[in-house]
Amino acid sequence: MDCTPKKHTAQTVFEDVSALLLERMKGITEPVRVREEDLANQLGVSRTPVREALIRLESTGVVSLRPGRGALLSPVTDEEYIEWLQLREQLEGFATREAAMNASQRDVERLRGIFKPFLDEQAGEAAPEAYAQANVAFHIEIIKLANNQLLEKVWEAFGHRQTTYRRQTIKRLHRSSDSLREHLAIIEAIAQRDAQLAETLAREHVRSLYKAFIQSRSEAPIQIKPRSI
């Protein structure tokens, strides 16, 4: 067992703070206060790098900073999520086309390995949390394979919109089977170095999620608040 203390840098603190906040987003429906001191104690660092991480995260919309009142963690709204899906179609179309031209055979095998535990058709439905993590890992890997640093920064800045636990989109829309089939088709196009097909499939993949989410909203029961007398 490696007992070497973790070396903290500005980037590792930022990543750790991001992970903690995304974890805290689970289940929240209203903004909640985040204390720098609590985060610093959890990570075993001073408050200064935590404050710097929060300032970076404010630009992504994950938190809002209020002078003298700390940080406010806000869940992503449906409207923001819809806008993110619209943007994702463009970003992932580009990223997947580039990935098809850049990926080595080892890269392809790594992409396939992400979904290896879910090749049984019902595996994704049976383990929705694990599949959701695999889904996020796959899309991050595609972004990396595009080999475009600006694209990676954009994804890092706004990727929390797709990882918000509250949505549980794939699970809630029962899309794990469709999602898996679409992912495997994208991987095969990348393996064949068919950049045009890979881009088309990636765009269709995000568009399908967008349409399913929009439909789920239209089918949701209307919440009628009781009138005061």
Residues 96 and 176 in one domain: yes
Higher-confidence position of 92 and 52: 92
Is residue 102 domain-shared with residue 206, that is, in the same domain?
yes
pTM value surpassing 0.85: no
Most confident of 25-34, 132-141, 148-157, 199-208: 199-208
Residues 31 and 122 placed together within one structural domain of the fold: no
For residue 127, tell me if it sits in a domain.
Answer: yes
Sequence letter at residue 55: I
Q: Which domain holds residue 60?
A: 10-73
Does residue 58 belong to any structural domain of this protein?
yes
Q: Is the pLDDT of residue 127 over 90?
A: no
Question: Is 223 inside a domain boundary?
Answer: no
pLDDT beyond 60 at 163: no
pLDDT at 224 over 50: no
Q: Is the pLDDT of residue 178 over 50?
A: yes
- Has residue 205 been placed in a domain? yes
The span from the CA of 131 to the CA of 176, in Å, is 8
Among 73, 106, 123, give the residue marking a domain's end: 73
Alpha-carbon gap, residue 134 to 140, rounded angstroms: 10
Q: Which residue did the predictor score with more confidence, 190 or 67?
A: 190
Classify the C-alpha dihedral 96-99-101-103 as positive or negative.
Answer: negative
Q: Name the residue among 107, 105, 111, 93 with its Cα closest to residue 196.
A: 93
| One domain for residues 107 and 43 | no
Distances (CA, A) of 193 to 15, 46, 68, 153, 169: 33, 47, 54, 25, 30
CB atoms < 10 A from the CB of 46, how many?
12
Tell whether the model's pLDDT for residue 6 goes beyond 70: no
Query: 18: which 2 tokens?
Result: 């991001």
- Residue appearing with tokens 């636990």: 165
The CA distance from 228 to 49, in Å, is 48
Residue 173 counted as domain residue: yes
What pLDDT does 111 receive?
97
Contact criterion met (CB below 8 Å) for 202 and 179 = no
76 pLDDT more than 80:
no
